[in-house]
Amino acid sequence: MTHTNHREGTPESLGQDFVVMFMPAKGYNNDAAVVGKLRRALDIYLRHRPVNAGAIKAGYLLADSPEQMKRIIAEDTPMIHAVYTTSAQVEAVLRDLKEADMGISVVVSGPVEEVARLSERAGIRRHSVEFSLGVLGRRDLLAPAHLRPLITMCGHGLISRSLAEEVLGDVRTGRSTPEEGARRLGLQCVCGIFNPERAARLIREAVAATAAAPASGDGEAR
């Protein structure tokens, strides 16, 4: 799915950011039985301690409890995601989903080589691979580089650059912690694919980098 395929960042940062998606095919296997399968997938996700999980028409962990999410899940729930920070978690999830054998497509977003290794270790043969080719055209109109790793964690563009700047400003002035800022950003992403742990690190790094930036020549704040 392309909405999890455009996350920006360094290899080290992206190596702590994996999205697993369990997705029925509309009109093919999203019948009444799929509700139980989606709930079972959520149980498997939760067993391995995701930092976030959910989907449109399923709720998400930053705003809802697992019990609330299970009540929300219905036949028209399009998919269910979970976000993990380690390879070991993802491998364990894949093993459990393979053993459950529910006949539903599973997609993993993360560094390609690492996802390939995890799939092989879990005994899964990949069906296909999808790459992001980056952004073409007027790149000068994009948000600044220090913001893009944050805002691209919401694949539907619901985190604005102005909100991200405001969060950084609040952390910089002590009005908020990086964790509080990460949660504020993550609440905008109703798919549940936002990684709050990675976001807190990114916020901390961005604040430190801007604090260390050289002052302007006249010594005045701008």
Does residue 46 surpass a pLDDT of 60?
yes
175/172 Cα distance (integer angstroms): 8
The count of other CB atoms within 10 Å of the CB of residue 87 is: 18
179-196 pLDDT, tens digit per residue, is 999 999 999 999 999 999
The count of other CB atoms within 10 Å of the CB of residue 151 is: 21
Q: What is the pLDDT of residue 1?
A: 59
**Domains of the chain as residue ranges with CATH:** 2-121 (3.30.70), 142-212 (no CATH)
Residue with tokens 């893009």: 148
Whether the model pTM is above 0.85:
yes
The angle that helices 112-121 and 87-100 make with each other, rounded to 10 degrees, is 50
Does residue 56 surpass a pLDDT of 80?
yes
63-114 pLDDT, tens digit per residue, is 999 999 999 999 899 999 999 999 999 999 999 999 999 999 999 999 999 9
211/179 Cα distance (integer angstroms): 19
Residue 137 is classified by DSSP as S
Residue 214 is classified by DSSP as P
Does residue 214 surpass a pLDDT of 60?
no
Nearest alpha-carbon partner for 107 in 78, 136, 140: 78
Average pLDDT of 39-55?
A: 97
177/195 Cα distance (integer angstroms): 16
CA 68 → CA 65, 71, 163, distances in Å?
A: 5, 5, 28
